[in-house]
C-alpha cells in the first residue's frame, strides 16, 4: 500500500493555543502526516496527508478546539490501521457523501424545489413525501429501491382504506425516480413494475347537470338565491365563465379589464401554469359591475365574508348549492365546467375552441400562443352566445340546443 504515516508527535496544547494568525495560512505539524492549518481568520483546521500507491491524498479531521489534539491523534491512528488494511479513507468518505446525497429524501427535496407547483399542490406534495414516504424509504439510496419494498409502503395505505392516496404516492415516487434517472443517479424506475399491483380506484366524475331543462331549473334557483352578496355574485358568474373553482374564488380585480370585456388570469393561479384569457359576455360584465362597489377597493373580487384579506373559501359555492337543494350527487362547483363543455359541444361550437376556453389544450406553447392570438374573436362570440343561451334557458325557452353558426 506504501503508506507514509510516522508516529513522531511535535505539537502540544500550549503551542496550539499560543499560535497566532498570519497574513497567509500556515501549518503546525504533528508528524505522521497530521497538521493543524491556521488561517488568517484564525480558524484551526485539522488535516491529514497520506499516500496510497504513491499518490498523495488529504483528509479533514475537524476543527480545533472542537476536535482536541488527542482526538486528532486517535483519528490518525485509526486511519493508519485502515490504510494498512488496504482501504482509502478519502475514497470511502466521498462514497459516503455521494450515498447521502443520493437518498430518496435528498433527491425528492431537490426535485420538489424545481417544481412550479401552486401553493395548494405544493402543500399536498410535501405531505405525501414527508408523512407517507420519507419515514419508510427516505434514507434508502434511490438507485436501490425495489418494487417489493415500495409495494410494502403502499400496502400500508391500502390497509387504511387510502387507495387513491396509495396511487398518488406511487406517482410521486415515480416522478422522483425519473428525475434521478435524468440526473444520472438511478438507472430504472421500479414503480413501473407495480402496474396492476395496487387496488384499482373507482374513478367518478364530478357531479354536473347537463340536461337543458335541469340547467334551466338550476339557473332559476341561482337567480332566487338569498345569501351573502359576494357568494351570490360568484354563484351567478360561475356558469358564465366556467373556470376552475380556485381561479374564480380567488379572482383579483387587477386581472379584469371590464372595458375590454377580458379577464386575464395570471399563470401562477392556473392549473396549467400558463396565463388564461376569459372573454366576458355582457351578462358577466354586468355582474362584476354590480359587485364592484362592494369589493372593488380590495384585492379580491370575491373576498371571504369573514375577512377581505382572504378570498372566498373552497366550500362557499358548494354550501350555496346545498342550501338550494342540490346534493353532492347532483351538482358540484366544478360541474359548471362539465355543463358548459357538454352543452357547447351540443350547440355545435368547435371542440378546439371549447377546449381552448376550458384551458385543456396540450402543452405546446407555440401553438397555444397562436391560438390565443388567432382565435380570440371566435371565443368572444362563443362566450356571448353561451350567455345568451343561458338567459334563454332561465326564461323558460330555447331548451332545444341550437346549432352554432359555422
132-170: per-residue pLDDT in tens? Answer: 999 999 989 998 899 999 999 999 999 988 888 999 999
Confidence of residue 1 (pLDDT cuts 50, 70, 90): very low
The 3-state DSSP class for residue 37 equals strand
Backbone angles phi, psi at 26, to 5 degrees: -140, 165
For the chain, the domains span 13-97, 104-194, 212-394
> pTM for this one?
0.53
Range scoring the smallest mean pLDDT among 47-51, 116-120, 284-288, 300-304: 116-120
- Share above pLDDT 90 across residues of the chain, in percent, rounded to a whole number: 47
Q: Reply yes or no on whether the pLDDT at 366 is more than 50.
A: no
- 129, burial (CB in 10 Å: exposed 0-12, middle 13-18, buried 19+): buried
C-alpha distances in Å from residue 60, one per residue of 87, 89, 306: 17, 11, 59
Q: Reply yes or no on whether the pLDDT at 367 is more than 60.
A: no
C-alpha distances in Å from residue 132, one per residue of 104, 138, 139: 13, 10, 13
Domain 212-394 sits in CATH 1.10.760.10: no
Encode pLDDT of 246-274 as tens digits: 899 999 999 999 999 999 998 888 877 78
- pLDDT reported for residue 32: 84
Architecture label for domain 104-194: Orthogonal Bundle (1.10)
Average pLDDT, the chain: 85
Q: Which of 110, 153, 152, 149 is closest to 133 using CA atoms?
A: 153
- Provide the CATH number for the domain formed by 13-97 in this structure: 3.30.160.390
Q: Which of 89, 6, 88, 3 is closest to 54 using CA atoms?
A: 3
Contact in structure between 350 and 220 (CB atoms under 8 Å):
no
- pLDDT reported for residue 191: 93
Amino acid at each position: 500500500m506504501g503508506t507514509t504515516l510516522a508516529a513522531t508527535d511535535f505539537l502540544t496544547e500550549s503551542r496550539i493555543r499560543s499560535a497566532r494568525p498570519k497574513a497567509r495560512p500556515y501549518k503546525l505539524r504533528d508528524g505522521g502526516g497530521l497538521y493543524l492549518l491556521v488561517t488568517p481568520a484564525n480558524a484551526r483546521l485539522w488535516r491529514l496527508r497520506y499516500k496510497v500507491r504513491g499518490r498523495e491524498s488529504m483528509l479533514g479531521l475537524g476543527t480545533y478546539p472542537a476536535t482536541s489534539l488527542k482526538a486528532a491523534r486517535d483519528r490518525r491512528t485509526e486511519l493508519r490501521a485502515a490504510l494498512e488494511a488496504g482501504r482509502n479513507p478519502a475514497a470511502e468518505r466521498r462514497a459516503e457523501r455521494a450515498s447521502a446525497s443520493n437518498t430518496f429524501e435528498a433527491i425528492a427535496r431537490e426535485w420538489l424545489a424545481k417544481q412550479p407547483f401552486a401553493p395548494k399542490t405544493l402543500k399536498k406534495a410535501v405531505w405525501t413525501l414527508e408523512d407517507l414516504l420519507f419515514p419508510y424509504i427516505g434514507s434508502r439510496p434511490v438507485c436501490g429501491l425495489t418494487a417489493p419494498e415500495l409495494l410494502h409502503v403502499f400496502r400500508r395505505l391500502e390497509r387504511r382504506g387510502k387507495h387513491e392516496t396509495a396511487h398518488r404516492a406511487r406517482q410521486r415516487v415515480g416522478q422522483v425516480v425519473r428525475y434521478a434517472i435524468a440526473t444520472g443517479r438511478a438507472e430504472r424506475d421500479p414503480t413501473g413494475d407495480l402496474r396492476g399491483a395496487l387496488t384499482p380506484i373507482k374513478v367518478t366524475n364530478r357531479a354536473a347537470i347537463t340536461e337543458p331543462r335541469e340547467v334551466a331549473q338550476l339557473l332559476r334557483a341561482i337567480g332566487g338565491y338569498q345569501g351573502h352578496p359576494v357568494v351570490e355574485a360568484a354563484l351567478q358568474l360561475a356558469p358564465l365563465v366556467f373556470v376552475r373553482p380556485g381561479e374564480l374564488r380567488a379572482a383579483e380585480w387587477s386581472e379584469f379589464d371590464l372595458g375590454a370585456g377580458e379577464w386575464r388570469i395570471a399563470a401562477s393561479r392556473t392549473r396549467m401554469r400558463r396565463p388564461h384569457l376569459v372573454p366576458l359576455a355582457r351578462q358577466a360584465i354586468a355582474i362584476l359591475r354590480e359587485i364592484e362597489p362592494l369589493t372593488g377597493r380590495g384585492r379580491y373580487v370575491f373576498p371571504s365574508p369573514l375577512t377581505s384579506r382572504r378570498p372566498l373559501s373552497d366550500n362557499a359555492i358548494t354550501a350555496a348549492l346545498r342550501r338550494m337543494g342540490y346534493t353532492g350527487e347532483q351538482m358540484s362547483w366544478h360541474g359548471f365546467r362539465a355543463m358548459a363543455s357538454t352543452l357547447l359541444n351540443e350547440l355545435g361550437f368547435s371542440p378546439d375552441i371549447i377546449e381552448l376556453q376550458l384551458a385543456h389544450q396540450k402543452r405546446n406553447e407555440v401553438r397555444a400562443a397562436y391560438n390565443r392570438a388567432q382565435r380570440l374573436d371566435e371565443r368572444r362570440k362563443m362566450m356571448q352566445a353561451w350567455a345568451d343561451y343561458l338567459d334563454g334557458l332561465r326564461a323558460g325557452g330555447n331548451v332545444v340546443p341550437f346549432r352554432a353558426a359555422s
